[in-house]
A and B are shown apart, each in its own frame.
Chain A
């Protein structure tokens, strides 16, 4: 791996005065899909929130060779990190198309942004059908598609995805994971994926990190983690 796109060093994260990330370390390779695994409460979502400056942090976060910890959430988005939050962050009172327009808020290249709408609708034809509909009326899967599309409207270099499979039917999960793979390849977007569905995440990702109570306890290629006896027993169940 050449210089990683995102590098996190000794990152601590706080909710109020409680420290929930105890100095984690990881890197996301350029063009790759990296996943952070772990049980409930291990600090996966918190890690993503720390990168986007939604919580107070200590430690270093480097993006494209530049330190970004201490910047505001908006600034970090402007640098090219899009974040699909847990719960999807749908703007429920706006229409589907307006949600995408909010995603394109920072775009100055109007004409290409217009093309991007079309590209998103091509990835997710169902969103095109519902473009004038209030986003709150979409199903969970459609809202997840919308959240991913909205994040991509930023034209990010790095996409942070927080549990895209949460609460969705297996068929929809498969569809969304397939599209994530396509997006990674076609849009040249690196992905940092947080997932409870360990088997699926390891299948999609090339690198993986395992968190336990706010610490990185294991890292390696997806293959390495899949072959690990302990991971298999605790997280894959066979």
Chain B
């Protein structure tokens, strides 16, 4: 029983990470209707920025802020340089470019930072609070960080003028521009924000899986499963999906398929959702007018 609760707790912690990456995927999807396959690699790259900062002797939270800023700029840069010129390109070209970005960023990171596994520190104490063994300090910290990220994002989108403009631009670009909303700036901002959220996920997952250029590959697949499960067009769905996938993956790994086959759980979720309920648990049904 105790073991089960432990597994659930660490599942929730991993779920928080999947939720963050899933949220980043959903944000891009809502404004562009594309899945950013390079989301995980962007997060990995920013985490290396943090690694360099820490190596240079910066305190953790300073490195954290530098990384967030770096991730934000990286996201905006990729939107401006790579995706803006493809604004009217056919779907397939964009997909190929995303795959190119995935491979490109991955190789670039390998070339710059090398392929050895690096240990990455956690800012949280090793032990859980009050000496509990139920949950580790890092797991609890991850959950808190994920909650803070989701709440801040929600508040930003819901209660600020720019957040509202971003939602409007994502929903109807032409109509928003007629009201004076600078849609292309909103798009760049969306990329920046989602890359920033991704880097937070990278910072939280690196202490668990070690830092290396392939660190986010598994996370991205789980996050993709999470976003699909929750409904790719619903940010809350991504969060719920992330937590569900995290817990299910952990339990399945511990009791059903074993750690080796854990990743297949994500694939089962993805295929299952696509077969049974393509709009996800909380997504809008896609109705196309022909």
Spell out A's residues near B (CB within 8 Å). Answer: 52, 54, 72-74, 77-78, 82-83, 85, 89-94, 98, 101-103, 105-106, 150-151, 153-154
Contacts and interface: CB of A to CB of B under 8 A. Distances in A.
A102 B176 contact: yes
Contacts of B165: 102, 105
B279 to A, nearest CB: 15
Given A89-B172, A91-B172, A94-B171, A73 B178 contact: yes
Nearest to B177: A73
Contacts of A154: 179-180
B168 interface: yes
Contacts of B182: 74
Contacts, number: 69
A93 B171 contact: yes
A54 B178 CA distance: 9
Contact of B178 (A83, A92, A94, A98): A83
B164 A92 contact: no
Interface residues of B, number: 17
Interface in B39-75: none
A62 to B, nearest CB: 20
Interface string B149-181: 000000000000100110110011011111111
Given A74-B177, A92-B171, A153-B179, 13 more contacts: A77-B178, A82-B178, A82-B179, A91-B176, A93-B171, A94-B164, A94-B167, A94-B171, A101-B161, A102-B165, A103-B179, A105-B180, A154-B180
Contacts of A90: 172, 175
Contact of A74 (B167, B175, B181): B181
Contact of B164 (A89, A98, A153): A98
Residue of A94, A105, A106 most packed against chain B (CB within 10 A) = A105
Nearest to B175: A89
B174 A102 contact: no
